[in-house]
């Protein structure tokens, strides 16, 4: 009977263009949009920095040369100090350096930009100026700082593209939208009377519930497989950790989302309630969990708040599996247990509140 | 005869409100019982309890001699429900719908395919089997709704207002299907707002009102016992006077008012009713005797007409 329910729901889904778009196409659009937003390196090309110095000024020439030699940056000489400031103001370049013959060097940068965006650039350019001002030639200077991952954290991939973050972010965000699809299915079955027909049939009530949940669990798994497949095949996303860990994690995430759908179905009576309140709840959960803005870049309080929703745990685990080499199932077990804990709470509340005979 | 459905003291409360008091009803094998009652009479609640869709607050249901509470799956397997709503998936084809609903009754493989072909034949949809249901007319959807209920060849088929919103041709088709099923020995419970449907199809009628069974019997028995002598009056003058006259006449029997027209059923003779009407200052413009039938019996029992309440 559950097999027949799966076939029925798959047929219904294949004929529901709206559901197909929101489950499979929208996440891809969001992945591209967010991936482009976080792509600071402008497709791997060095970032242009406007520089002006008085003709013949040796300090200015040294700074321009050092900047050009620094990976990720490119010097763009400007005709005057005002041109540098103007190009920064019109966002043609992210920052500029005005090097007068004497006195302090001006770093032209929008101080209104968030410190998370401005800080790294400000730090890097300050370092360039310091190195250029050193009396010892750059190639003779020993490395002053060497970045290393501390013991306890697996080594990350050499080059992490924004898609390593935006693919799982959007997969989790849209993966949890299966909760709405599940709840809508229950509301629809009640509305059309097919639920009444199901209850009149010689089918245990738990089986009637499973017959609605299992097909969407499989649809949810297919959705995540598709999104990660596109992530790997189209966006070049890589899996640094173990594939079984990724599979178990994805199965837990979908289970949690379907359980949340049961809870939604238990408390919502109409499609309008689901479309309004349900969507907002899922978006807020996604936002807190770091689906739209990575938790890595959030302040400590927001980072902790993100762990109040399953999305936060899921994204932490996905980040480890996708970015940190050798991440195993055991490494992400705490996150998986947390997600399963959420699933138990959602399913428990859903079963307690679900009314078969509404 | 054997009772295919037996309801004993069946009732349902929703908080302090009693939807169905205590219904006692037996439906014999092979008979077609019409369940009549205005909206809110408790028909659908009673049917839902009989099918195991909702849990009764009191009483017991037995289907084919099996207690529904004790062995719900065996009892439900003997029953087919055709809900009032179009309980089908419009995005699927007729066959896909029936394949799913058949699986709920443990049908599979060749047996299921055979049952689907048979059910589609009964409702006259064999040639539309693979077409998407959303392209069907309202009547065809109703027929598919019926097919889904009889797919597993139940002993008892319960039809909850199966002809709502269908064209006369489809209604006739549904009637023919029900007659054919009865010919095969299937027991049928038929609820409707249409008196003439019940008169055309049913051997026995149960009239429900206010959550209880007001009367049961064959149509002839109900008419003989409850219909009484009916009278239809048309009053001249204002509607206010007509309303006053109706209220006065109601002390002596059942009155149903429709504009200036009063339909009367006297409990103790017609003379006191007419005297009460005239005492209000109303002028009788037309007077006609009404033939006793199921409608007048229903009016006498419930004080309401079916159609106006629907």
A89 CB near a chain B CB, below 8 Å?
no
Of A3, A11, A198, the CB nearest to B96: A11
Nearest to B161 by CA among B184, B190, B132: B190
A188 CB near a chain B CB, below 8 Å?
no
CB contact under 8 A, B87 and A5: no
What percent of chain A stands above pLDDT 90? 57
A116 CB near a chain B CB, below 8 Å?
no
CB contact under 8 A, A197 and B148: yes
Residue A103 has pLDDT above 90, yes or no: no
With beta carbons under 8 A apart, name residues in chain A contacting B88.
192, 194
Cβ–Cβ under 8 Å, residues B306 and B214: no
Average pLDDT over residues A25-35: 88
CB contact under 8 A, A202 and B51: no
Q: How many Å apart are CA A246 and CA A227, to the nearest integer?
A: 13
Average pLDDT over residues A309-334: 93
Helices of type H across chain A? 2-14, 17-20, 26-37, 58-69, 81-89, 115-133, 163-175, 178-192, 194-200, 205-233, 243-267, 271-273, 279-289, 300-305, 310-323, 333-353
Q: How many Å apart are CA A253 and CA A336, to the nearest integer?
A: 8
| Residues belonging to chain B with any Cβ–Cβ distance to chain A shorter than 8 Å | 48, 51-55, 72-77, 79, 81, 83-89, 91-92, 96, 99-101, 103-106, 148-149
pLDDT of residue A314: 96
Residue A138 has pLDDT above 80, yes or no: no
Q: Write down the mean pLDDT value for chain B.
A: 88
Q: The tokens of B274 are what?
A: 């007419």
pLDDT of residue B309: 41
Give B219 to chain A, closest Cα distance, Å.
30
Of B53, B84, B105, the CB nearest to A199: B53
Higher-confidence residue of A346 and B281: namely A346
Cβ–Cβ under 8 Å, residues B36 and B198: yes
Query: Is residue B310 very low, low, confident or very high in pLDDT (cuts 50, 70, 90)?
Result: very low
Q: How many Å apart are CA A26 and CA A39, to the nearest integer?
A: 20
Of B85, B89, B104, the CB nearest to A203: B104
Of B77, B89, B106, the CB nearest to A194: B89
Phi, psi of A249 (to 5 degrees): -60, -45
Average pLDDT over residues B257-266: 83
CB contact under 8 A, B103 and A192: no
pLDDT in tens, B186-233: 999 999 878 888 888 998 999 998 899 988 988 888 877 777 667 788
Nearest to B246 by CA among B272, B269, B277, B281: B277
Per-residue buried b or exposed e for A254-269, using 16+ beta carbons within 10 Å of the residue's own CB = bbbbbbbbbbbbbebe
pLDDT in tens, A212-260: 999 999 999 999 999 999 999 998 888 989 999 999 999 999 999 999 9
Give A214 to chain B, closest Cα distance, Å.
15
A135-144, A145-154, A349-358: least confidently modelled range: A135-144
CB contact under 8 A, A202 and B85: no
Give A224 to chain B, closest Cα distance, Å.
25
Residues 303-342 of A with CB under 8 A from B: none
Q: Where are the domains of chain A?
A: 2-38+161-353, 47-140
Higher-confidence residue of A49 and A140: namely A49
Q: Write down the mean pLDDT value for chain A.
A: 89
CB contact under 8 A, B48 and A196: yes
Pick the residue from chain A with its C-alpha nearest to B149: A197
Nearest to B310 by CA among B46, B30, B44, B26: B44
A203 CB near a chain B CB, below 8 Å?
yes
CB contact under 8 A, A197 and B52: no
pLDDT of residue B72: 95
Q: How many Å apart are CA B216 and CA B25, to the nearest integer?
A: 9
pLDDT of residue B262: 87
Reduced to 3 states, what is the DSSP secondary structure of residue A97? strand
CB contact under 8 A, A8 and B100: yes
With beta carbons under 8 A apart, name residues in chain B contacting A11.
91-92, 96
Parallel/antiparallel/unpaired status of strands B230-236 and B283-290: antiparallel
**Burial of A136: CB neighbours in 10 Å, binned 0-12, 13-18, 19+:** exposed
CB contact under 8 A, B55 and A7: no
Nearest to B27 by CA among B47, B13, B48, B52: B47
- What is the DSSP secondary structure assignment for residue A25, as one 8-state letter? I
Give B199 to chain A, closest Cα distance, Å.
27
pLDDT in tens, B153-174: 999 999 998 888 788 888 888 8
Phi, psi of A77 (to 5 degrees): -70, 135
Parallel/antiparallel/unpaired status of strands A96-99 and B32-36: unpaired
Cβ–Cβ under 8 Å, residues B157 and B63: no
CB contact under 8 A, A3 and B103: yes
* Residue A113 CA: distances (Å) to CA of A49, A94, A117, A238: 17, 10, 7, 31
pLDDT of residue A39: 64
Nearest to B146 by CA among B155, B134, B159: B159
CB contact under 8 A, B101 and A1: no
pLDDT of residue A139: 65
CB contact under 8 A, B74 and A202: yes
Average pLDDT over residues B232-246: 88
Q: What is the CATH number of domain A47-140?
A: 3.40.190
Phi, psi of A234 (to 5 degrees): -100, -45
pLDDT of residue B306: 62
Residue found under tokens 């087919």: B80
Residue B76 has pLDDT above 50, yes or no: yes
CB contact under 8 A, B87 and A192: yes
Give B304 to chain A, closest Cα distance, Å.
29
Query: Is residue A203 very low, low, confident or very high in pLDDT (cuts 50, 70, 90)?
Result: very high
pLDDT of residue B307: 55
- What is the DSSP secondary structure assignment for residue A235, as one 8-state letter? T
Q: How many Å apart are CA B292 and CA B232, to the nearest integer?
A: 12
CB contact under 8 A, B103 and A204: no
Parallel/antiparallel/unpaired status of strands B261-266 and B230-236: antiparallel
Query: Is residue A43 very low, low, confident or very high in pLDDT (cuts 50, 70, 90)?
Result: low
With beta carbons under 8 A apart, name residues in chain B contacting A202.
72-77, 104-106
pLDDT in tens, B10-62: 999 998 999 999 999 999 999 999 999 888 889 999 999 999 999 999 999 99
Cβ–Cβ under 8 Å, residues A268 and A195: no
Average pLDDT over residues A40-57: 80
CB contact under 8 A, A202 and B106: yes
pLDDT in tens, B96-121: 999 999 999 999 999 999 999 999 99
Give B144 to chain A, closest Cα distance, Å.
13
Q: The tokens of A157 are what?
A: 């991939």
pLDDT of residue B302: 80
């Amino acid at each position: 009977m559950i097999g027949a329910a799966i076939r029925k729901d798959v047929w219904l889904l294949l004929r529901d263009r709206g559901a197909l778009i929101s489950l499979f196409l929208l996440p891809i659009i969001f992945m591209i949009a967010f991936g482009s937003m976080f792509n600071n390196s402008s497709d791997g090309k060095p970032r242009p920095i406007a520089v002006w110095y008085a003709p013949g000024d040796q300090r200015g020439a040294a700074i321009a040369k050092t900047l050009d030699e620094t990976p990720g940056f490119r010097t763009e000489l400007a005709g005057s100090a005002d041109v540098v400031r103007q190009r920064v103001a019109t966002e043609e370049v992210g920052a500029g350096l005005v090097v007068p013959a004497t006195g302090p060097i001006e770093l032209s940068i929008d101080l209104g930009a968030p410190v998370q965006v401005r800080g790294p650039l400000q730090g890097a350019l300050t370092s360039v100026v310091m190195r250029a001002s050193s009396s010892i030639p750059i190639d003779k200077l020993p490395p002053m700082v060497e970045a290393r991952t501390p013991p306890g954290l697996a080594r990350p991939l050499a080059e992490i593209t924004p898609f390593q973050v935006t693919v799982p972010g959007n997969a989790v965000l849209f993966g949890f939208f299966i909760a709405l699809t599940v709840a809508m299915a229950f509301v629809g079955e009640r509305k059309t009377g097919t639920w009444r027909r199901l209850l009149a049939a010689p089918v245990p009530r738990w089986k009637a519930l499973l017959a609605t949940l299992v097909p969407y669990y499989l649809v949810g798994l297919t959705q995540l497989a598709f999104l990660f497949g596109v992530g790997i095949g189209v966006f070049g996303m890589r899996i640094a950790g173990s594939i079984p860990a990724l599979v178990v994690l994805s199965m837990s995430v979908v289970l949690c989302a379907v359980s949340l759908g049961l809870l939604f179905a238990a408390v919502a009576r109409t499609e309008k309630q689901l479309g309004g309140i349900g969507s907002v709840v899922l978006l807020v959960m996604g936002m807190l969990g770091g689906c739209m803005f990575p938790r890595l870049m959030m302040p400590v309080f927001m980072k902790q708040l993100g762990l109040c929703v399953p999305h936060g745990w899921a994204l932490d685990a996905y980040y480890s599996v996708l970015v940190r080499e050798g991440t195993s199932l055991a490494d992400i077990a705490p996150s998986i247990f947390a997600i399963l804990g959420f699933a138990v709470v959602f399913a428990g509340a859903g079963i307690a509140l679900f009314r078969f005979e509404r | 005869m054997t009772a295919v459905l037996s309801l004993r003291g069946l009732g349902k409360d929703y908080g302090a409100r009693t939807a169905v008091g205590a219904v006692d009803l037996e439906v014999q094998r092979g008979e077609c019982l019409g369940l009549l009652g205005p909206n809110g009479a408790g028909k659908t609640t009673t049917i839902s309890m009989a099918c195991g869709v909702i849990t009764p607050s009191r009483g017991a249901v037995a289907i084919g001699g099996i207690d529904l509470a004790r062995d719900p799956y065996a009892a439900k397997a003997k029953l087919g429900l055709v809900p009032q709503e179009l309980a089908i998936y419009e995005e699927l084809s007729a066959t896909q719908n029936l394949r799913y609903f058949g699986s709920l009754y443990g049908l599979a493989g060749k047996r299921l395919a055979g049952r689907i072909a048979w059910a589609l034949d009964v409702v006259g949809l064999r040639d539309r089997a693979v077409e998407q249901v959303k392209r069907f007319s309202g009547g065809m959807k109703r027929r598919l709704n019926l097919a889904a209920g009889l797919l597993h060849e139940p002993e008892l088929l319960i039809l909850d207002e199966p002809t709502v919103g269908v064209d006369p041709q489809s209604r006739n088709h549904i009637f023919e299907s029900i007659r054919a099923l009865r010919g095969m020995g299937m027991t049928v419970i038929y609820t409707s707002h249409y008196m003439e449907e019940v008169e055309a199809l049913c051997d026995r009628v149960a009239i429900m009102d206010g959550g209880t069974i007001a009367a049961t019997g064959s149509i002839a028995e109900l008419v003989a016992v409850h219909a009484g002598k009916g009278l239809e009056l048309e009053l001249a003058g204002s509607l206010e006077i007509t309303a006053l006259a109706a209220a006065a006449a109601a002390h002596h029997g059942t009155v149903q008012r429709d504009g200036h027209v009063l339909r009367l059923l006297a409990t103790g003779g017609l003379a006191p009713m007419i005297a009460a009407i005239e005492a209000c200052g109303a002028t009788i413009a037309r007077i006609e005797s009404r033939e006793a039938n199921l409608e007048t019996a229903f009016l006498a029992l419930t004080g309401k007409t079916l159609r106006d309440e629907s």
